[in-house]
Amino acid sequence: MKNSTGNVPGLALIMVGQGRDSQTYVRKKLGACEEAGIQSKISTLPENCTEDQVLNALSCFHEDPSIHGILVQLPLPQHLDEGKILNSVHLEKDVDGFHPINMGNLAMWGREPLFLPCTPKGCIELLIRSGVEISGKKAVVIGRSNIVGLPMSLLLQRHHAIVSVVHAFTRNPEQITREADIVVAAAGVPNLVRGSWLKPGAVVLDVGTNPVKDPSCEYGHRLIGDVCYEEASRVASAITPVPGGVGPVTVAMLLLNTLESAKRAYNFT
Ligand code: NAD
b or e along 148-186 (b: 16 or more beta carbons within 10 Å of the residue's beta carbon)? bbbbbbbbbbebebbbbbbeeebeebeebbbebbbbbbb
Residue 258 near residue 9 (C-beta atoms within 8 A): yes
Atom of ligand 1 nearest to the CA of 251: 40
Residue of 147, 153, 242 with the most ligand 1 atoms within 8 Å of its CB, for mutation: 147
Look at ligand 1, atom 5, and give the residue with the nearest C-alpha.
Answer: 187
Task: Identify whether the C-beta of residue 97 lies closer than 8 Å to the C-beta of residue 103.
Answer: yes
Each residue of 188-204: pLDDT tens digit? 999 999 999 999 999 99
Helix, strand, coil percentages (3-state) for the chain, rounded to 5, are: 40, 20, 40
Q: Which helix (H) or strand (E) holds 124?
A: helix 118-129
Structural domain boundaries of the chain? 2-95, 118-248
Tell me, yes or no, if the two domains 2-95 and 118-248 fold the same way.
yes
Compute the distance between CA of residue 162 and CA of residue 231 in angstroms, rounded to an integer: 25
Q: 141 CB under 6 A from ligand 1? A: no
Residue 157 in 3-state DSSP? helix
Long-range contacts of 106-113 (CB under 8 A, 24+ apart): 106/151, 106/154, 106/155, 106/158, 107/154
ipTM at complex level? 0.99
pLDDT at 19: 84
Atom of ligand 1 nearest to the CA of 187: 7
* Fold of the CATH domain 2-95: Rossmann fold (3.40.50)
29 is catalytic: yes
Q: Assess whether the C-beta atom of 189 lies below 6 angstroms from ligand 1.
A: yes
CA–CA separation, 114 vs 191, rounded Å? 34
d(CA 3, CA 193): 48
193 Cβ below 6 A of ligand 1? no
Kindly give the number of the ligand 1 atom that is closest to the alpha carbon of 246. Answer: 41
DSSP, collapsed to helix, strand or coil, labels residue 134 as: coil
pLDDT, position 218: 80
Q: Read off the pLDDT of residues 118-129 as tens digits, 9 standing for 90 and up.
A: 999 999 999 999
Q: Given 93, 94, 96, 121, which residue is catalytic?
A: 96
φ, ψ (nearest 5 deg) of residue 198:
-105, 145
Torsion, Cα 145 250 222 43, to 10 degrees, reads: -90
The mean predicted confidence, pLDDT, of the chain is 96
Q: Is the CB of 122 under 6 A from ligand 1?
A: no
Give kind and range of the element (H or E) at residue 185.
Answer: strand 182-185
Tell me the pLDDT tens digit for each residue of 34-52: 999 999 999 999 999 999 9
Predicted model pTM: 0.96
pLDDT digits (tens, 9 = 90+) for 169-186: 999 999 999 999 999 999
CATH of 118-248, one of 3.40.50.300, 3.40.50.2030, 3.40.50.720, 3.30.565.10: 3.40.50.720
Catalytic annotation on 96? Answer: yes
Residue 220, pLDDT score: 87
Residues of 50-89 as b/e, b for ≥16 C-beta within 10 angstroms? eeebbeebbeebeeeeebbbbbbbeebeeebeeeebbebb
- Using one digit for the tens of pLDDT, what is the confidence trace for 41-91? 999 999 999 999 999 999 999 999 999 999 999 999 999 999 999 999 999
Cα distance between residue 116 and residue 103, in whole Å:
8
167 lines ligand 1 (CB under 6 A): yes
CA–centroid distance, 79 to ligand 1, in Å, is: 22
Which of 96, 206, 207, 246 most suits a substitution to test ligand 1, by most atoms within 8 Å of the C-beta? 207
